[in-house]
Amino acid sequence: MLRKVILFLFILMFILSPTASAKTLLYVIYESKGKVSVYNADSEKLAKNISTGESPFHLALLPNKKLIAVSHKGVGADYLKIIDTASGKIKMSPSIIVGRYKKTGEVYLSFDNNGRKLYAIDSNMNYVDIIETEKWRLLKRVILGIQPKKGILSSDGSTIVIPNLNSRNITFLDTLKDNISRSIKIDGLPSAVAFSKNGKHLFVLDKENSLLLSIDLQAGDIIGKAVVGNEPVNLLLSPDGNTIYVANYASNSLTVVNASTMEVITNIAVGIQPFGMAVDDKTGRLYICNYGEASISIIDTKTNRGIRKIPTDATPTNLIVVRE
Note the pLDDT tens digit of each residue in 9-51: 554 454 444 444 568 999 999 988 889 999 999 999 999 999 9
Say what the pLDDT of residue 20 is: 43
Q: What does the alpha-carbon distance between residue 274 and residue 301 come to, in Å, rounded to a whole number?
A: 17
Query: Pick from 208, 210, 215, 214: which is nearest to 228 by CA?
Result: 210
Say what the pLDDT of residue 17 is: 45
Q: What does the alpha-carbon distance between residue 321 and residue 29 come to, in Å, rounded to a whole number?
A: 12
DSSP alpha helix (H) spans, the chain: 2-16
Asked whether the CA dihedral 81, 82, 85, 91 is positive or negative, the reply is: negative
Say what the pLDDT of residue 18 is: 44
The DSSP symbol for 238 reads: -
Say what the pLDDT of residue 204 is: 98
Q: What does the alpha-carbon distance between residue 230 and residue 129 come to, in Å, rounded to a whole number?
A: 31
- Positions in the chain whose pLDDT score sits under 70: 1-22, 74-78, 99-104
Q: What is the DSSP string of 205-219?
A: EETTTTEEEEEETTT
Say what the pLDDT of residue 103 is: 57
pTM given for the model: 0.89
Compute how many other C-beta atoms are within 10 angstroms of the C-beta atom of residue 127.
16
Q: What is the DSSP string of 270-283?
A: -SSSEEEEEEETTT
CB 111 within 8 A of CB 138: no
Say what the pLDDT of residue 80 is: 86
- The residues near 250 (Cβ < 8 Å, ≥ 6 apart) are 229, 230, 231, 273
